[in-house]
Structure 1
Amino acid sequence: MLVLTRKLNESIQIGDNIEITILSVQGDQIKLGINAPKEVEVHRKEIYVSIQESNSEAASTLPNVLDILKSTSKNLK
């Protein structure tokens, strides 16, 4: 893990097209501004984890749905 120290209004550049700027510092909280291309998804970690869990759950449900459809299709013949 790379650890950097930044002050208010200073930035971190990631690659050619992602910039993270320190917007404010209040107590133990900081506000970050993230400038990234629209095709780059930016989420808080807990939201990202939730999305991944939902996607995983949906993917595991799909084979069951396919089995049900196959068996229903066979019963209709």
Structure 2
Amino acid sequence: MLVLSRKINESIIIGDGIEVKIVDVSGRNVKIGIDAPRDVSVHRKEVYEAILNENIEATKKENLVSFIDFFKQHKKD
């Protein structure tokens, strides 16, 4: 893990198109601004993990079987 020190209004660049800027520091809280291309998803980690878990649940065997059955019933002969 890379650990950097930054002050308010200083930033770091990730890749060619993502800028992470320190907007405010207040006590133990740090506000950051993220400027990224529209095609790059930006989520808090807990939201990202919830999305992953929902995707995993959606692909469980029983859901997949019902999905396959749906297409079998609507298959064109």
* Shorter-chain TM-score above 0.5: yes
Q: Would you tell me which structure has more helix in proportion to its own residues? A: 1
Structure 1 vs Structure 2: percent identity of aligned residues?
47
User: Which structure would you say has the larger Rg?
Assistant: 1
Q: CA–CA distance in 2 between the matches of 1:38 and 1:67?
A: 33
Q: Confirm or deny that 1:40 pairs with 2:58.
A: no
The equivalent of 1:65 in structure 2 is 66
Q: CA–CA distance in 2 between the matches of 1:56 and 1:63?
A: 11
Aligned length: 72
Q: Normalised by the size of structure 1, how large is the TM-score?
A: 0.83
Q: CA–CA distance in 2 between the matches of 1:53 and 1:47?
A: 10
The one-letter amino acid of 2:5's match is T
Gaps of 5+ in 2: none
The equivalent of 2:25 in structure 1 is 25
Gaps of 5+ in 1: none
State the superposition RMSD in angstroms: 1.8
CA distance 1:69–1:22, change in 2 (3 Å)? same
